[in-house]
Structure 1
Amino acid sequence: MSKVLFVDACARGWEVSRTYAVAEAFMNAYREQHPRDEIEELTLAGLGLAYFTGKELEYRDALLARGGQADDYFKLARQFAAADKIVIAAPYWDLSFPALLKVYIERVSVSGITFSPEPDGRLRGLCRGEKMLLITTSGGDFTHEDLSLYGTALSYLRGICAMFGVDGFDYLWTHGLDIVGNDPEAILRGAKKQAAAFAESW
């Protein structure tokens, strides 16, 4: 049995989000294929997360200095570290993803929980995660673009996986939903089918 953490970073809400629709197809198929797995879902928009202020960083650092990793303040980081698989649903915004996801990652990036600095200056990952999956959608079509420029979300999350000790990174990216002449409903149907098929082996 695996622990699966599903992080919903879809700012528009599940009712209208195309990214969430694809992610939902993946998760429904995953549940069918892995009925014994424990799945936790986080809807970031409902957590009231805010970016760090100087005052809050002082509070956080003081907690860590006295070994307070078990404090409730770090519950999101402990949840992330305990997951065997992480699924993130986040739309493609401005070459990356909504700022709320970055805020969440800053909140789970905690020394002594998700990573540990080594004496030689390197970082050692402490997460038990086997792999992470990003599910994203975009209005434009970036399939022929340089992903080092247009796919910064991918490189960033790969780096986070390396830092936290998550072994693998995959992504499902649905392109072209807002291009004039395209059929967005047909594209979404195909994306959902692809996501469900991918869930069978993930």
Structure 2
Amino acid sequence: MQHGQKIVFQGEADEAPDTVTGDIVFVLQLKDHPKFKRKYDDLYIEHTISLTEALCGFQFVLTHLDGRQLLIKSNPGEVIKPGQHKAINDEGMPQHGRPFMKGRLFVEFNVEFPEPGALNPGQCRSLEKILPPKQGSQLSDMELDQCEETTLHDVNIEEEMRRRQQQKRQEAYDEDEDDARPRVQCAQQ
């Protein structure tokens, strides 16, 4: 069932002598939910797990819209990546006209990483021993001497995009002002 869909019960309105009985019409209004989002018969949620849970496994309980408690857990040995989606069949919304057929429940995983400075050098070395090797190629001293070293810094990408949009608007405004000024023409002799 969808937002704005009409459900009609024909001939079920109030009855009166010598009149045709009217219809009862319900119009569905979709209500926002703080946890679940709906697209057609499917439901979507986001769930945040720690890096340890992403690598070593997790389980959590989700209270479904009908009050049931669903135990959701990873498969043994499964690694969850940030932004990865998983689905649970038959835990979405009932399909119109087929109440026993349901859509899927999609879970999008957010993975929380440790805060900067949370790992000391010894812990980093321990992790390097058990995790897959770094993909960065090892550079020789001669290759390193030919490189210019740079430094990464934190950035708020939303703020950068707002600043860039403001800059574009200002440039467009400045161009409009340039077009509005009278142009000096050469005097004819």
**TM-score greater than 0.5 by the shorter chain:** no
Question: Which one has a larger percent strand, Structure 1 or Structure 2?
Answer: 2
TM range (shorter): under 0.3
TM-score (norm 2): 0.22
* TM-score (ref. length: structure 1): 0.21
Q: Which one has more relative contact order, counting CA pairs under 8 Å at least 6 apart?
A: 1
Greater helix share, structure number? 1
Larger radius of gyration between Structure 1 and Structure 2: 2
